[in-house]
Amino acid sequence: MSGKDDGTGKGSGPVNPRGRQKAVRVKKKSIAKISSRRWLERQLNDPYVAEAQRLGYRSRAAFKLIEMDQQFNLLRSDMIVVDLGAAPGGWSQIAAMRGAKVVALDLLQMDPLPGVAFLQMDFMDEDAPEQLINALSGPVDLVLSDMAPNTMGHKTTDHLRIMNLVELAYDFATQILKPGGTFVAKVFLGATQGDMLQQMKRDFATVKHVKPKASRQGSSEQYVIAKGYRRPPEE
């Protein structure tokens, strides 16, 4: 961390995705796979990547959370946050910088961050909910999920895998959120239609969809933000 930034995104000035900068081209010969070359070119030319590096953020995704927080007042100090699909740690970092206590989980390894307890495991594992609950120090105010399974290129299968992950995250959130709590999850266009959206609207006071500016324009990624959890009374 640079130590100068408070994670509000205010100190950095707005990131201008259309800001002028000379495009970097990666020579074809040096990288075998065209897709890897495209990915690298995109990274090298992405102003959010450059700004994240300048501010010491773990990922460009940090700007998505900063923007959603500015719009929806998601983060406060003294809150307990669960961050699913946390690596490399941009969202956890921003939440912890605001004083939240974070329990984060990812399939991939993540370097330690102050204020963040990390579990490296698959959220689809049967044990995952119990292990997360054991790592928590109190009732949860906010569940974040930026999880996205690797796509296989088969539209229907990819859609089902994404749906499955979002539904599991939602199910878990409704078990651990305290009344008034918030659920934020990455979804893809159409993934929270129908039954799940109807259920969310019953469970939460407000449900909105948003596509932050830092979300790549070409992708169908968006985020669902459900606030004001109406926790059913214990039986």
Positions touching ligand SAM (CB under 6 A) are 58-59, 61-62, 85-91, 105-108, 122-124, 146-149, 165
The distance of closest approach from Cβ of residue 122 to ligand SAM in the complex, given in angstroms and rounded to an integer, is 5
The distance of closest approach from Cβ of residue 45 to ligand SAM in the complex, given in angstroms and rounded to an integer, is 19
3-state secondary structure of 235: coil
Q: What is the DSSP letter of 99?
A: T
The distance of closest approach from Cβ of residue 83 to ligand SAM in the complex, given in angstroms and rounded to an integer, is 7
Residue 177: both structure tokens together: 């959120």
* Closer CB to ligand SAM, 30 or 150, in the complex: 150
CB atoms within 10 A of CB 125: 12
Between the alpha carbon of residue 13 and those of residues 23, 57, 65, 215, the distances in Å are: 22, 15, 16, 18
* Closer CB to ligand SAM, 121 or 231, in the complex: 121
**Which residues 6+ apart lie within 8 Å of 74 measured at CB?**
65, 68, 142, 182, 184, 225
Q: What is the DSSP letter of 29?
A: G
* Closer CB to ligand SAM, 49 or 107, in the complex: 107
The distance of closest approach from Cβ of residue 227 to ligand SAM in the complex, given in angstroms and rounded to an integer, is 19
Catalytic residue set: 186
H or E element at residue 174: helix 155-176
Q: Which residue has the tokens 């909105």?
A: 208
* Closer CB to ligand SAM, 86 or 140, in the complex: 86
Contact predicate 141/195, CB 8 Å: no
